[in-house]
Amino acid sequence: MMGTRMLAAASLIVLALTGALAADRTIHVTKDIALVVPNGSPVRFASYDDHNITAKFVGRFALTGLYRITFAQGGGYTELNFEPDRTWVARLPYWKAYQQHARQIAFDNPDDFLKAVLPAHLRHKGQISGRVAVNVNGYQTGIECDWPWFTVHYLSIEHAPALLAKAGADDDIGC
């Protein structure tokens, strides 16, 4: 009797662990194109646009990472890069054929992100980088010129940004 109970308990533990290690979900949007949605992803597949090769997802989440903003002589920004932390990269959907995860994500509303992250007096020529946690939704991914891209919609600051580096006007910020 005791052996049966032990076997039943061990079986329940194995089943619980197996469920915790559920596999990533593959979504075949066409015969030849598939997306991978990692287990534990904060987003759910919503739609696919075959004409633009774009997949949309729903779900709001706090995304953490490193931002880099380069400003032109006139004060407007010329480049805005956001590199999500590795833990987020592993949880966001990607194209199966490319095996390219979202190592850089663009904001579909970059001006809103910029205004929230940087005070006006820091928005001038040079380069600024820092770490930030932001609330986002509207995750999308597409393929353009045989290369995957990834975007989100900025909603709000989750944690106050930390300024890591600021290159002044005379600093070399080129390649």
Per-residue pLDDT, 102: 81
Percent over 90 (pLDDT), the chain:
41
* Cα 94 to Cα 22: distance, rounded to the nearest angstrom: 18
The answer to whether position 86 is within a domain reads yes
| pLDDT tens column, 82-119 | 999 998 889 999 998 887 788 899 999 999 998 898 88
Cα 3 to Cα 11, 14, 15, 152: the distances in Å are: 12, 16, 18, 53
Neighbours of 143 (CB within 10 A): 17
Q: What is the mean pLDDT of residues 64-71?
A: 90
The alpha-carbon radius of gyration of the chain (Å, integer) is 21
Q: What are the residues whose beta carbons fall under 8 Å from the beta carbon of 16, sequence distance 6 or more?
A: none
Cα 138 to Cα 55, 57, 98, 141: the distances in Å are: 10, 6, 21, 10
The answer to whether position 173 is within a domain reads no
Per-residue pLDDT, 30: 85
| pLDDT tens column, 122-157 | 777 688 888 999 999 999 999 988 889 999 999 999
Domain count, the chain: 1
The answer to whether position 90 is within a domain reads yes
Instruction: Using pLDDT thresholds of 50, 70 and 90, give the confidence band for residue 58.
Output: very high
Per-residue pLDDT, 166: 66
Per-residue pLDDT, 152: 96
Beta strand segments in the chain, E: 25-28, 34-37, 44-49, 54-58, 61-71, 77-84, 94-95, 106-107, 126-144, 147-167
Q: Give the predicted TM-score (pTM) of the model.
A: 0.77
Instruction: Using pLDDT thresholds of 50, 70 and 90, give the confidence band for residue 171.
Output: very low
The answer to whether position 175 is within a domain reads no
The answer to whether position 172 is within a domain reads no
* Cα 120 to Cα 123: distance, rounded to the nearest angstrom: 5
Per-residue pLDDT, 62: 93
Burial of residue 116 (number of CB atoms within 10 Å: 0-12, 13-18, 19+): middle
The answer to whether position 19 is within a domain reads yes
Q: For the chain, first and last CA: distance in Å?
A: 73
Tokens at residue 101, please? 């995860």
Beta strand segments in 4-89, E: 25-28, 34-37, 44-49, 54-58, 61-71, 77-84
Q: What is the mean pLDDT of residues 10-29?
A: 62
**Who has greater pLDDT, 64 or 120?**
64
The answer to whether position 14 is within a domain reads yes
Residue 154 · residue 116 · CB < 8 Å: yes
Q: Which domain holds residue 43?
A: 2-167
The answer to whether position 174 is within a domain reads no
